[in-house]
Amino acid sequence: AQSVAQPEDQVNVAEGNPLTVKCTYSVSGNPYLFWYVQYPNRGLQFLLKYITGDNLVKGSYGFEAEFNKSQTSFHLKKPSALVSDSALYFCAVRDFNTGFQKLVFGTGTRLLVSP
Amino acid sequence: DAGITQSPRHKVTETGTPVTLRCHQTENHRYMYWYRQDPGHGLRLIHYSYGVKDTDKGEVSDGYSVSRSKTEDFLLTLESATSSQTSVYFCAISEPGAAAAPSSGANVLTFGAGSRLTVL
């Protein structure tokens, strides 16, 4: 079965410092990987995706993610964190088992950016 | 959250009562989904729909049913609510497309604002 793991429940970083939110995946075949963000009392918002091509994917709000096939990872990064980046971040992978475009989500990582 | 409306946004009910959550979209997207969000579990798929009257089960479908009589509406029903169904429920929509194309919108889900359900 397709799955993703987010090993950190919470990541703390100071404003202006680089941030990394980790995600590893387990799939059969080529992975389709996604990052979503959830702000308080809101639904999830799409940040970026990796389907194929360049291993460095750029997304919304200055975020980027690096696909690493040998390490089966898809870590989310940003060069300089903002307090407003504080939110819950979810990694997801497409489940191809049924032939339908379903996503399987990780358990989420809370990012706290301190001033 | 534009284009997707969930109702009610908050509901408190008692064990054993029926509950229906509604998802309404104005995007004319073909695919619709119901997820539940729980601490430590992330989001788990309950049911999904790939067209009017076409639905299927997700990974946590026990105790839930769905209906889709129109493209724009996807209803989630708890026939007899239990405390384990206390959760935040999210509706999502997406469009089919060339999934293998990086620029395609396929696989990109757009979520509603959520419905918080408490079962006492």
* Subunit contact A43:B109, Cβ cutoff 8 A: no
DSSP B13: E
Per residue in B34-63, pLDDT tens?
A: 999 998 899 999 999 989 999 999 989 999
Kindly report the average pLDDT of chain B as a whole number.
91
Nearest CB among A43, A100, A103 relative to B113 is that of: A43
Contact between A20 and A76 under an 8 Å Cβ cutoff? The reply is yes
Chain A closest-CA separation from residue B111 CA (Å): 5
Q: Which of A88-97, A105-114, B94-103 has the lowest mean pLDDT?
A: B94-103
Q: Residue A41 — very low, low, confident or very high, per pLDDT cuts 50/70/90?
A: confident
Contact between A64 and A56 under an 8 Å Cβ cutoff? The reply is yes
Q: Residue A27 — very low, low, confident or very high, per pLDDT cuts 50/70/90?
A: confident
Per residue in B12-31, pLDDT tens?
A: 999 999 999 999 999 999 99
Chain A closest-CA separation from residue B61 CA (Å): 14
CB atoms within 10 A of CB B57: 14
Question: Strands, DSSP E only, in chain A?
Answer: 3-5, 10-14, 19-21, 24-26, 33-38, 44-50, 56-58, 64-68, 73-78, 87-95, 102-105, 109-114
Instruction: Judge whether residue B112 has pLDDT over 90.
Output: yes
pLDDT, position B102? 53
Q: Choose the mutation target among B35, B43, B55 for the interface with A, i.e. most A CBs under 10 Å.
A: B43
* Subunit contact B48:A46, Cβ cutoff 8 A: no
pLDDT, position A40? 86
Structure tokens at A33: 């990987």
